[in-house]
Amino acid sequence: MTKSKLAILLLLISGNLIATPLQANEALFRLLQERSCNGCKLADTDLVHADLRDADLNKAQLQRANLSRANMDGANLSGADLSFTSLKGASLRGANLKGAKLYGTDFRESDLTGAQLDINALEEAHWRGAKGITSQVQSHAALHNAGVSAAKGESWRQAEDLFSKAIKKKPDIAESWVARAITREKLGKRKLAIKDFNYASELFEAQGMILPAQQLEAAAIALQDKENKNETGNGAGSALLSGLISTSKALIPIAMKLFMPALGLSF
């Protein structure tokens, strides 16, 4: 074993990085020594807090690897397989993630400022709390479902922001308007909630869905009455909607879309 490889092994041990037998660790040594390992097989590797700035990992196999809190600013991860890889809290500023497989990848609390990503690349990844994500890489469904998760956790301000972004993506999806109305009512923004309920009602009516349109219009009127009477307290919108759902099966599909994230995704 060369002195340089021995030094890297000592670094691995001192840094609490789990190393497999040396024969199977050539790729890891190469990566840490040369910062370049195209197509390397690094699945299940533990590289917590690793310094991999500007590393070349083009088409690397990093499935299930633990790269939490790693510094990967400027790294080339194009075409890499990052399925179920943990990048929680990692810094990926300016990293190239074009063509990377991001199924189940954990980007929570990471920094993706300036990172290059494919359109809708984060559709099947976990990214709640990540920084620097542009709307281009987030689909309407991902934004809406993330808003649902935030609402379920009673993070109403975050939910409102996510539903607003979802609406910007697809302004003709009534469910997102209803969802935002509920979050705004929770935040005490009744006038804005009323507008959202009314607009959602118009969208349903335009689709020929008269019953839900009428029910949402009724919810808006009830909120307006509460506003006119200057009554205090939040929660009327969600309470009204819950009551409407209990009396009409027509709104059950809407409720499912509002409060059930897509299967397999947890933001």
Name the E strands within the chain. none
Q: CA-CA distance, 138 to 161, in Å (whole number)?
A: 13
Is 99 in the same domain as 174?
no
How far CA 85 is from CA of 32, 72, 106, 112, in Å, comes to: 18, 14, 6, 15
pLDDT tens figures, 118-156: 887 887 888 878 888 876 677 888 888 888 888 888 889
145 and 67, same domain (yes or no)? no
On whether residue 21 sits in a domain, the answer given is yes
Q: Residue 54's pLDDT band (boundaries 50, 70, 90)? A: very high
Beta bridge partners of 71: 51, 91
Beta bridge partners, 265, equal none
Same domain, 161 and 196: yes
Report if residue 133 sits inside a domain.
Answer: yes
Comparing 16-30, 67-81, 151-165, 175-189, the range with the smallest average pLDDT is 16-30
Into how many domains does the chain fold?
2
Question: pLDDT tens across 163-222, in order?
Answer: 998 899 889 988 889 888 888 888 989 899 899 989 999 998 999 988 888 888 888 888
Q: Does residue 266 fall inside a structural domain?
A: no
Q: Give the residue numbers spanning the domain of 27.
A: 12-137
The CATH number of the domain where 124 resides is what? 2.160.20.80
* Residue predicted with more confidence, 235 or 128: 128
Indicate whether 207 belongs to any domain. yes
What pLDDT was estimated at residue 235? 52
Q: Are residues 86 and 36 located together in one domain of the fold?
A: yes
Q: How many helices (H) and strands (E) does the chain have?
A: 9, 0
Answer yes or no: do 16 and 118 share one domain.
Answer: yes
